[in-house]
Amino acid sequence: MKNVLLIGEAYSGGVKTYIDTIMMNEQKPSPVKIHALVSSARLENQEIPGDGYLVEDFLSFGKSPWKLVKALKAIHKIVKEKNIDVIHANSTFAGVLMYFYSLYNRKIFYIYTPHGYYSFKNMGKAKKMAIRLMERRINGAANLVIHVSPSEEREAIDNKLVSSSKSIVILNGVKDPETQPVRKVGEPFTIVNLARVDDQKNPFEFINIARKVVEKSPNVQFIWAGNGEYLEEARARVKACAMEENIMFVGFTTEKEKLLERSDLYFSTSHYEGLPFAVVEAMSYKLPLLLTDIMGHSDLVDGKINGLLFKQNEDHVVYEFIQDLVENKEKWESMSLGSYQVFRERFHTQQMLKSLSEVYAA
């Protein structure tokens, strides 16, 4: 039996969902024993599960060399106590820890999943070069790099962040909802986004588009659920437009399933993604998709079967698409079923865990 240690410093958002999917699903990869080492530093109104989870806040080392050393010592202690064979690091900070630990211990099989490379963010040229150098070193230390979407892998290879010989794609997956949505005729057409309110997710463009849609179609409602550094500023901008009843930033919610059940369309204005779990979850709830045409999103929209990809400055395309779905029930129903079909065929938990099981047990 192989012993696997998942490391996730950023235990929030997609990384949290990824680790929890592996740890808590009844179809855990086997024959392996899996442990998860996480930091509580970025928790948002949530608790870390008990069984199999280990907590070490030194993983969130920031710019502190002292915390970095403490984190590496904690990892080494777990490796010895749990007889770890495989370390699977998730996202950038965990990747940095994996890189430094690999300099000391080359007996471990190292796997790295970036969940969207940090260098794909908008930043200055010098900073981008420095971060890409670190990302190349992280990937160089890994025995295997798992990308969560074909477009993420393509971008990484094209930018010489990783060699194709050590890269594979395992698509993110979620399970079927416990209940299927029953949508009522006559309610406001509800457009939802589940994401952090930060620069990556581009909330102010979301507001700009939502405002123009509502001006033409007052029966359309936009809801953004999630915390983040721009939450209060986003709320202030909506208030300044006097559109609080149609555009709502509700903050973190423990009832995202209920929100997805009563929504009609998933709308994201993100600048970049790996492969967002929130969109996959929306597909499992049969929501059509309206997404920016970026890495990660492009793997989720299948032609015109389940939604639309739009580019910057294509606002008119967005308005027409939303209006068409509001007025054309048959088209909405077709795209709704299309989303669920694409989810079942490509993005179900079963496929993700089966592929991971094969990697861990190899």
Domains and CATH numbers, the chain: 2-172+348-361 (3.40.50.2000), 189-346 (3.40.50.2000)
- Sheet arrangement for strand 189-194: 247-251, 220-225, 189-194, 265-268, 289-292, 307-310
Average confidence (pLDDT) over 272-292: 95
Residue 29: pLDDT over 90: no
Burial letters for 161-174: b for 16+ Cβ neighbours within 10 Å, e otherwise? bbeeeebebbbbbb
Strand 289-292, strand 32-38: pairing: unpaired
Where on the phi/psi map is residue 296: left (φ > 0), alpha (ψ -120 to 50), or beta? Answer: left
More confident residue, 195 or 362: 195
pLDDT, the chain, mean: 93
Where on the phi/psi map is residue 321: left (φ > 0), alpha (ψ -120 to 50), or beta? Answer: alpha
Peptide bond into 31 cis (omega under 30): yes
Question: Which backbone phi and psi does 194 adopt, to 5 degrees?
Answer: -115, 105
Longest CA–CA span in the chain (Å) reads 63
Length of the chain: 362
pLDDT at 304: 84
Query: Which helix (H) or strand (E) covers residue 178, if one does?
Result: none
pLDDT at 362: 85
Query: Which neighbouring-strand residues pair with 92?
Result: none
Q: Comparing C-alpha atoms, which of 199, 201, 214 is closest to residue 318? A: 214
Tell me the pLDDT tens digit for each residue of 7-25.
Answer: 999 888 889 999 999 998 7
Residue 210: pLDDT over 90: yes
pLDDT band with cut points at 50, 70 and 90 for residue 313: confident
Q: Of all residues in the chain, what percent carry a pLDDT higher than 70?
A: 96
Q: Comparing C-alpha atoms, which of 118, 92, 120, 91 is closest to residue 14? A: 91
Average confidence (pLDDT) over 91-104: 96
Residue 45: pLDDT over 70: no
Average confidence (pLDDT) over 136-147: 98
Strand 247-251, strand 307-310: pairing: unpaired
The helix, strand and coil proportions of the chain, stated in percent and rounded to the nearest 5, come to 45, 20, 40
What is the rounded CA–CA span in Å between residue 164 and residue 312? 30
pLDDT band with cut points at 50, 70 and 90 for residue 6: very high
Q: Comparing C-alpha atoms, which of 227, 287, 237, 294 is closest to residue 257? A: 287
pLDDT band with cut points at 50, 70 and 90 for residue 292: very high
pLDDT at 27: 57
Average confidence (pLDDT) over 54-61: 94
Tell me the pLDDT tens digit for each residue of 168-183.
Answer: 999 999 999 987 766 6
DSSP reduced 3-state for 263: coil
First to last CA, the chain: 11
Contact predicate 167/143, CB 8 Å: no
pLDDT at 120: 87
Give the angle subtended at the CA of 130 by the CAs of 129 and 136, to the nearest 5°.
85
